[in-house]
Amino acid sequence: MHKFIGLVAMLGLAWPAWAQQNAWQEMSPLQKAGYGESRVSTYQSRSFVLDTQLWQTELEKIAPGSLVQIAQSPHLLLLPTPSGELWTFQVLEVPLLSPALARKLPQVRTYAGRAPDHPGTTLRLDWTPQGLHAQVIGPEGTFLIDPFQKNQPEAYIIYWKKDFDASAKLSRSAGCGMEYDPKITHPPVLNLDKSAFASGSQLRTYRLAVAATGEYTQFHNDNNAANGDAIADAQAAIVTTINRVAGVYEREVAISFELVDNTDIVFDNGTTDPFSNNNAGALIDESQQVIDQEIGDAAYDIGHTFSTGGGGLAALGSVCIPGAKASGITGLDTPIGDVFDIDFVAHEIGHQFGGNHTFNGNAGSCTGGNRNGSTAYEPGSGSTIMAYAGICGSNNIQNNSNDYFHNHSFVEIVGYTRNSAGNNCPVVEETGNEAPVVEAGEGGFTIPISTPFALTGSATDASPESLSYCWEQYNLGPAGAPNSPAGNAPLFRSFTPTSSPTRIFPRLNDILNNTQTLGEILPTYSRNLSFRLTVRDNQPVGGVDYDEISFSVSDQAGPFLVTAPNTSVSWTGGSTQQITWDVANTDKMPVNCQVVNILLSTDGGQTFNTLLAEGVPNDGLQSVIAPNVNTTSARLKVEAADNIFFDISNQNFTITAATAPTFTLLASPENALACAPDPAGFEISVGALLGFNNPVTLSLQNLPSGLNATFGTNPVSPGNTSTLSLSNTTALTAGIYPFTLVATSGGITRNLNLEISIVNGTVSPVLQSPVNEAEDISLRPVFNWEDVPGVLSYRLELATDAAFANMLLDETLDVSEYTLNNPLAPNTTYHWRVSALNNCGDNTTSTVFLFQTATIACLTFTATDLPISISETGTPTIASVLSIGQNGFISDVNVLKVKGTHTFISDLSFLLASPEGTSVVLLDRICFDENNFDLGFDSESGNATPPCPPTNGLLYQPEESLLAFNEENMIGNWTLTVRDQANLDGGQLTDWQLEICFIDQSNNAPPTIVRNEPLLGVPNTVSSFPLGNDLLLASDAEDPAASLQYVIQQVPARGQLRRLGLALGAGSFFTQDDIDNGRVSYLPNNININTTDSFRFRVQDSGGQRSGEATFNIIIDVANSLAESTLAEGILISPNPTRDEAEVVFSFPYQGPVGFALLNPLGQSLHQGQFIKSAFTQTQRLDLQRLPAGLYWLLVETDEGRAVKRIVKQ
């Protein structure tokens, strides 16, 4: 927020009073050809010729000033843009050179400005004997103006930063490194309150000493003595680079620079200079020594050396620190342009100001110890200044760095310059600017997996028109490729700030085109998500602040999907259209989204300005009236009204406006609840389109027999409503009954499908696991019970007594499963029960079950393969293996001791891996410059953070929770891995000890898999394929079928494994009792094609014992029908299609029991039975009168085979 009022505006004068004459002319193709190939390679650009004499005259008129005075400057310059326009900039000469250096370089001038007609656009410009260089940063992006060629100060190329082709002429193979200098002992800065990081009210200016190797100087030598010698040429190039860097640092972190007199540290001979041009490790020490010797410690605040080799290297957090503040170097073989200035120089100076790497990739230069796990907030290579854009191979999400800092870099750099050693030496100037006030919104909610979402924040500022918003993920996790996250690793890359406070995840174009951008992937498993909204006011001295929001993702819900319309359908304006979506458990806890909004786009999904329905139930079905418009680019969006997630239909569809008068029809609700004997009620709305005014007559079709229907008003005049009451609800059993509302008038008929849900009370829940009187139960048991039809919620109670006076748990749940978060006491008897509550308020309670938890034993194990040396050379990884030969299911793991020696323990990461492959990070690169380690780890320790050095032998909370090992079997090899992520320092791992508390169940045998036969199915015969105990069967001596859980290790790749119609994910389970009772099925992604699939599982009993992992194979193939063909040919259904009933004639030789089941398209059984076939031909009657019109399947099974026949009810 800027408080200055421009002097021109105060005087009421027009800009042209000071406006520059236009010194620019765009080149013709012939002129451009005459200049040859541009020194800067771009994908697209424009070329201009500058009248240098006129330009020089205009520059002479510009007064000197400071950044905080730019808004008051009357001086204007015209600059061309990549679009060919000329923009007006309000400009001052803002000296970058110290007075002493300016006297030695009188032809070098630097300027700063802003574009008053383009809010938020700032300028940094320099004019040297080599010509003009300009950097313009604004909401549209960054564009640059550079000389077309060397020694041609009148010809220029103007291009967007995004169009720069870095691959053509610049080496991007060089990486960057950080040194942890032992002289640096500044205090930590990141544990401050967020308010401590708001930036912009003060500008900090640091004296910068830049040295140059002879090779760098010769690269910039233009061999033109008329404009200075080679050293003067190099100094001009240094000014150009630092001027651009300053333009970024001023906007981003309120830091500016003054170049000190560097005449004595810019060398022109690579053979005789004191620098090792191509050796970064040597050059960084030489940089410190030479700058201290020639400039003097007291004469500068930060030092840096430019070269043509070695990449980048800098001491982390070294500004203002004597003996370390010049420990920064940058070298590329082509040390010019945006890559050198931003990707390298701005990056390395960022290290000197305390900024760590922010990338999380694991390929290319992202390896080799360059990643910093505690700041790896960007997926893959990252894209911001402190990331590694373009040098991480397959992990690259773009080729070059964007010219802004990730939020964490902002926090580190502002924290270092405000609250640490970086505040000891700058000149601090009050700016009159204030940071925006930012609100990211309130978190704490949960979203479903694999579902798009949008975050919207807000900010207040005195100049809101110049604000830009940048949403960035703020999570840490294991290193990995950008679209293969694990744990809480970052999923979403940073994008350039925009003027919109909303960001859609993933990008809208990817959603609309069903594509994926590298560095953007929706979460597919349960995890946490945090995002920071950084808001910039984009003033010359930028005001910047941020806010954070955190929420969760649950794999118990999602993906939330629009299912209709989802193809290129056609609507007619005014028609009633049924919108459907897959609720995917989003209406249940933990997501608990109860209402949604339905919106329409007529421009292919770019905007959704038509609200079709607001605040309707999240039940997957809603009828709407098609708007009377013409479009071929309609898209539909269903969004949570009380959450942030949504989905958009996959394809454009067509709406054709009605041309003749007609009426519209809606009903609310579409599924009415009847708590028998009470009636159910609907409100019917009849609307008019294009002046329709004829009465509309209402009637019903397929109303279930026994119900009585009464309309309030019939017929209904358009623009009015009627009611429908359905009574005598006790005539029907509990269930959902469809019927059709028919409206007719003047030859027009509209149908609307409605449902009545009848509830006659609930039955008591049947408890499944832990079974009654079970022993040796896990301390974190999973409670399961059978689903109850018509239930609204369940109440789970757990107590230590049968009267439930000493209650430990009282939870209201939407699902029939619950896992304890906190462990129970060992060797203790517990009682549990479940109550079911339906939509009508009826409450029934199960019988009470009791169980006893297992007895816990704790043992300590000590590694015997020690000591192991950690080499000083390279970046070694060592591993110590501790073998445990005893069975036992883990209830707690503690690492009692990890001891060893190593200089610079900030190089080290410690990881513990279990025999089952679970890995936990214990410690990751702490205590910059400390030596040695002696400590332990306990996730329940009261000590959160180890001291520096960590050598007091106490227990601390690890980086990742040791609870990850709970429930695993302890037997096998445990591995402690130590990774050394930097060269030159070494040591030894001398001791480590492991304490494991476990359930000893050596006398409890694991379950046995008795039968595991492949599922053989035929395409296009059923909607899902049942898994019966003829295919899958397990047994256990101690447990019944309901307690044998098939825990899914890997889900099918080409379909879904389902229990009662609900998809099962990895880690979920079904029981042998579910198999025995037909609750488990397989649904292929495409029912019409041959499919080969499988899933992996283990069988677990109530005591936690598990079978080995097994694979269940699935083969859906036309060839499977051969075994059924004889049986199928002998079954005739007549009539087919039919209305209320059909006869099924069985004509084949087989005699004996025949089972049959009538299935709906979802594979759910609607009716089943059995008869004894005693003759060649035998007939059975099939009653369909209560079923709605549609497609059904008759499944027939004999001892000799099975067959499936299709039935169509009209």
Q: Are 527 and 552 in contact (CB under 8 A)?
A: yes
Question: Domain range for residue 441?
Answer: 433-554
Average pLDDT of the segment spanning 96-125: 97
Average pLDDT, the chain: 89
pLDDT at residue number 1024 = 83
Q: Tokens representing 971?
A: 């037997």
Average pLDDT of the segment spanning 176-186: 47
The CATH number of the domain holding residue 1169 is 2.60.40.3080
Which residue, 1197, 899, 1188, 840, is CA-closest to 1022?
Answer: 1197
Choosing from 759, 778, 806, the residue where a domain stops is 759
Q: What is the pLDDT of residues 75-87, one digit of tens each?
A: 999 999 999 999 9
pLDDT at residue number 1177 = 86
Q: Are 1152 and 1173 in contact (CB under 8 A)?
A: yes
Task: Let me know whether 179 and 76 are in one domain.
Answer: no
pLDDT at residue number 774 = 86
Cα distance between residue 1016 and residue 1025, in whole Å: 9
1204 found inside a domain: yes
Alpha-helix residue ranges (DSSP H) falling in 555-622: none
pLDDT at residue number 1157 = 78
pLDDT at residue number 1176 = 84
Average pLDDT of the segment spanning 374-397: 95
Among 122-131, 167-176, 378-387, the minimum mean pLDDT is found in 167-176
Please compute, for residue 1179, the number of CA atoms within 13 A of its CA located in the half-sphere on the CB side: 5
Residue 178 banded pLDDT, cuts 50, 70, 90? low
Q: What are the strands of the beta sheet with 76-80, ordered from one edge?
A: 24-26, 46-50, 155-160, 141-147, 131-138, 122-128, 109-114, 86-93, 76-80
Whether the predicted pLDDT of 168 surpasses 70: no
φ and ψ of 642, to 5 deg: -125, 25
The DSSP annotation for 454-468 comes to EEE-EEE-S-GGG-E
Average pLDDT of the segment spanning 1098-1119: 76
373 found inside a domain: no
Of the spans 719-728, 827-836, 870-879, 1022-1031, which averages the highest pLDDT?
A: 719-728
Residue 696 DSSP label: B
1116 found inside a domain: yes
396 found inside a domain: no
Which residue, 386, 417, 422, is CA-closest to 402?
Answer: 386
The DSSP annotation for 495-543 comes to ---BS-SEEEES-HHHHHHT---TTB----SSEEEEEEEEEE---SS--
Which residue, 89, 78, 73, 64, is CA-closest to 4?
Answer: 73
Instruction: Identify the three-state secondary structure at position 999.
Output: strand
pLDDT at residue number 1170 = 82
How many Cβ atoms sit within 10 Å of the Cβ of residue 1169? 11
Give the CA distances from residue 353 to residues 286, 416, 423, 953, in Å, rounded to whole numbers and listed in that order. 20, 6, 10, 33
pLDDT at residue number 695 = 98
423 found inside a domain: no
Among 12-16, 177-181, 909-913, the minimum mean pLDDT is found in 12-16
Task: Let me know whether 789 and 822 are in one domain.
Answer: yes
Q: What is the pLDDT of residues 590-637, one digit of tens each?
A: 999 999 999 999 999 999 999 999 999 999 999 999 999 999 999 999
Cα distance between residue 328 and residue 500, in whole Å: 37
Cα-based angle 257, 42, 161 (whole degrees, multiple of 5): 35
Q: Which residue has the higher pLDDT, 1142 or 184?
A: 1142
Per residue in 974-987, is it b (16+ CB within 10 Å) or e — as a string?
bbbbbbbbbbebbb
Q: Domains in the chain: how many in total?
A: 8
352 found inside a domain: no
Whether the predicted pLDDT of 53 surpasses 60: yes
φ and ψ of 14, to 5 deg: -85, 150
φ and ψ of 285, to 5 deg: -70, -40
pLDDT at residue number 1192 = 73
pLDDT at residue number 189 = 47
Task: Let me know whether 233 and 313 are in one domain.
Answer: yes
Cα distance between residue 548 and residue 197, in whole Å: 13
Give the CA distances from residue 101 to residues 94, 96, 463, 589, 680, in Å, rounded to whole numbers and listed in that order. 14, 10, 37, 67, 88
Q: Is the peptide bond before 559 cis (omega within 30 degrees of 0)?
A: yes
Alpha-helix residue ranges (DSSP H) falling in 1077-1117: none
Radius of gyration of the chain (CA): 37
Q: What are the strands of the beta sheet with 697-701, ordered from one edge?
A: 671-675, 748-759, 735-745, 697-701
Task: Let me know whether 497 and 457 are in one domain.
Answer: yes
pLDDT at residue number 188 = 41
The CATH number of the domain holding residue 923 is 2.60.120.260
672 found inside a domain: yes
The CATH number of the domain holding residue 825 is 2.60.40.10
In the block, tokens 């097994």 appear at 1110
Cα distance between residue 145 and residue 125, in whole Å: 9
Q: Are 1076 and 1062 in contact (CB under 8 A)?
A: no
Instruction: Identify the three-state secondary structure at position 449.
Output: coil
Tell me the one-letter amino acid at 314: A
Task: Let me know whether 838 and 969 are in one domain.
Answer: no
Beta strands, E only, 573-693: 576-582, 595-601, 610-617, 621-625, 631-640, 646-648, 653-656, 662-668, 671-675, 680-689
Q: Which residue has the higher pLDDT, 14 or 265?
A: 265
445 found inside a domain: yes
pLDDT at residue number 173 = 45
pLDDT at residue number 891 = 86
Give the CA distances from residue 836 to residues 765, 803, 819, in Å, rounded to whole numbers and listed in that order. 7, 19, 18
Whether the predicted pLDDT of 1161 surpasses 50: no
Rounded (10°) angle between helices 407-419 and 230-253? 100
Cα distance between residue 150 and residue 578, in whole Å: 67
Among 167-181, 833-847, 1018-1032, 1177-1191, the minimum mean pLDDT is found in 167-181
Whether the predicted pLDDT of 62 surpasses 90: yes
pLDDT at residue number 477 = 87
Instruction: Identify the three-state secondary structure at position 297.
Output: helix
Cα distance between residue 1077 and residue 1071, in whole Å: 10
Task: Let me know whether 174 and 307 are in one domain.
Answer: yes
Q: Are 436 and 175 in contact (CB under 8 A)?
A: no
Task: Let me know whether 978 and 1038 are in one domain.
Answer: no
The pTM of this model reads: 0.74
pLDDT at residue number 1141 = 86
Task: Let me know whether 180 and 323 are in one domain.
Answer: yes
pLDDT at residue number 1118 = 56
Task: Let me know whether 88 and 228 are in one domain.
Answer: no
Choosing from 287, 318, 337, the residue where a domain stops is 337
pLDDT at residue number 256 = 98
Q: List, in order, residues 6 or more apart from 13 with CB less than 8 Å away.
A: none
Cα distance between residue 1053 and residue 1092, in whole Å: 9
Whether the predicted pLDDT of 180 surpasses 60: no
Q: What is the pLDDT of residues 508-532, one digit of tens each?
A: 999 999 999 999 999 999 999 999 9
- What is the percentage of the chain residues whose pLDDT exceeds 90? 64
Long-range contacts of 506-509 (CB under 8 A, 24+ apart): 506/452, 508/605, 508/606
Which residue, 119, 116, 17, 425, is CA-closest to 258?
Answer: 425
Which residue, 627, 576, 569, 573, is CA-closest to 749?
Answer: 576
Q: Are 159 and 45 in contact (CB under 8 A)?
A: yes
Choosing from 97, 130, 164, the residue where a domain stops is 164
pLDDT at residue number 798 = 96
Q: What are the strands of the beta sheet with 1201-1209, ordered from one edge?
A: 1165-1173, 1152-1159, 1190-1198, 1201-1209
Task: Let me know whether 1135 and 1111 are in one domain.
Answer: no
Cα distance between residue 579 and residue 1037, in whole Å: 51
Which residue, 484, 482, 458, is CA-closest to 471?
Answer: 458
Task: Let me know whether 847 and 867 are in one domain.
Answer: no
Residue 995 banded pLDDT, cuts 50, 70, 90? very high
Which residue, 240, 296, 242, 241, is CA-closest to 265?
Answer: 296
Among 13-27, 132-146, 1117-1131, 1172-1186, the minimum mean pLDDT is found in 1117-1131
Q: Tokens representing 364?
A: 């290319």
Q: Which residue has the higher pLDDT, 676 or 656?
A: 656
Task: Let me know whether 272 and 193 are in one domain.
Answer: yes
Q: Tokens representing 117?
A: 């007609």
Give the CA distances from residue 947 to residues 388, 599, 955, in Å, rounded to whole numbers and listed in that order. 31, 55, 11
Average pLDDT of the segment spanning 23-45: 91
Average pLDDT of the segment spanning 272-289: 96
